[in-house]
Amino acid sequence: MTVPAIRVSAVTKQYGTLKALGGVDLEIGQGEFFGLLGPNGAGKTTLISALAGLVRPDGGSLEIMGHDVVRDYRNARRNLGVVPQELVFDPFFSVRELLRIQSGYFGIRGNDDWIDEILASLDLTHKADANMRMLSGGMKRRVLVAQALVHRPPVIVLDEPTAGVDVELRQGLWQFVRKLNRDGHTIVLTTHYLEEAETLCGRIAMLKAGKVVALDTTENLLHRFATHSLRVSVDRAEAAVALGGMAVEDGWVEFAFEGYDKLEALLARLREAGAGLREIQLGEPDLERVFVEVMHRA
Ligand SMILES: Nc1ncnc2c1ncn2[C@@H]1O[C@H](COP(=O)(O)OP(=O)(O)OP(=O)(O)O)[C@@H](O)[C@H]1O
């Protein structure tokens, strides 16, 4: 049997009285494109930091490609590339220097061919000799991706890589990450853009307050809860909410329902409640709705 790319067993982490991770179990297979989702403060970054050996868990264990991140740190770290959320760089180095230094951390010399290849893939070749402080935020983010790849890790974790990144770059970045996945790399991604997670990830774990509250294939998650949605614009949102709807934006309330045969009755109840229907929209299942539902129930 092949070892999982990542194994997380009963991991706990406490900051003072705050339980950042409350017993997380996860197994991610080699070659998966896996999504780690959760609201702010759910513990995603803490879990990633524990995988990278930057945070020591209070209990439980973590393995990368079969290597324990505490007992066998060097091998675990060699197998992992992390693209962190924060943009922190030494501003005095050029992009190429930075990538050479990063290679050095892993004891790799003469890595220039691979560095050139990564730079080209990330459309950074023309910035190879520019100092980090002269790059835009989006370019810096691409350098973070490059930095995570210098040692050719089989497992790559991206912590919100597209936060504050423009559409074009975001698409380019996904194309590149998809190619890495096709080439056999295991990808773990956290993002608040649920549409991205829905199209990219084969499997998803949802975290809430340090616990895994949903873990399944994206396909199954999309079908686990209500299959359709009804959005209504109404004069009295509170009347619609009282019927089980969820206020989504100004005057709009959303309902989940299972089949079109339920629609008529729902509209009738809205009319009887005097909600004052102005406009309706029907929607197919999407991950955002599933996410909201999971967080609501957990
Ligand atoms: N070094 C620390 N000291 C104290 N509390 C911390 C520390 N790091 C994280 N926390 C707390 O642990 C909890 C989990 O934080 P974490 O950054 O892992 O969440 P997250 O899911 O990554 O959130 P986001 O989506 O905002 O990035 C939060 O309540 C956070 O305030």
pLDDT along the chain (298 residues), means of 10: 94 96 98 96 95 95 97 96 84 91 90 93 92 87 92 95 80 89 96 92 97 95 78 93 89 85 91 93 83 86
| pLDDT value of residue 36 | 97
Tokens of 259: 């089949």
Ligand 1 center from residue 241 Cα (angstroms): 32
Question: Which of 221, 123, 202, 154 minimizes the C-alpha distance to 6?
Answer: 154
Grouping H, G, I as helix, E, B as strand and the rest as coil, residue 207 is strand
- Contact (Cβ atoms closer than 8 angstroms) between residue 26 and residue 34: no
Q: Look up residue 4 and give its DSSP letter.
A: P
Closest ligand 1 atom, residue 46 Cα:
18
- Cα 247 from Cα 231, distance rounded (Å): 9
Tokens of 11: 């991991």
**What's the residue count for the chain?**
298
| pLDDT value of residue 226 | 58
Residue nearest to atom 3 of ligand 1 (CA): 15
| pLDDT value of residue 167 | 83
Q: Rg of the chain over CA atoms, in angstroms?
A: 22
Pocket of ligand 1 (CB under 6 A): 15, 18, 20, 38, 40-46
- Contact (Cβ atoms closer than 8 angstroms) between residue 245 and residue 232: yes
Closest ligand 1 atom, residue 160 Cα:
27
Ligand 1 center from residue 72 Cα (angstroms): 25
Residue 187 phi/psi, 5° resolution?
A: -120, 130
- Contact (Cβ atoms closer than 8 angstroms) between residue 179 and residue 132: no
Closest ligand 1 atom, residue 38 Cα:
21
* Strand ranges of the sheet holding 186-190, from the earlier edge strand across to the other edge: 80-83, 155-159, 186-190, 33-37, 203-208, 211-217
Ligand 1 center from residue 20 Cα (angstroms): 7
Residue 87 phi/psi, 5° resolution?
A: -90, 95
- Token match 């991205």: residue? 196
- Cα 63 from Cα 11, distance rounded (Å): 11
- Contact (Cβ atoms closer than 8 angstroms) between residue 63 and residue 14: no
3-state helix, strand, coil in the chain (%, to 5): 40, 30, 35
Ligand 1 center from residue 98 Cα (angstroms): 28
Evaluate whether ipTM surpasses 0.85.
Answer: yes
Ligand 1 center from residue 53 Cα (angstroms): 16
Q: Look up residue 131 and give its DSSP letter.
A: B
Residue nearest to atom 28 of ligand 1 (CA): 41
The structure's pTM equals 0.84
The single-letter code of the amino acid at 124 is L
Ligand 1 center from residue 21 Cα (angstroms): 9
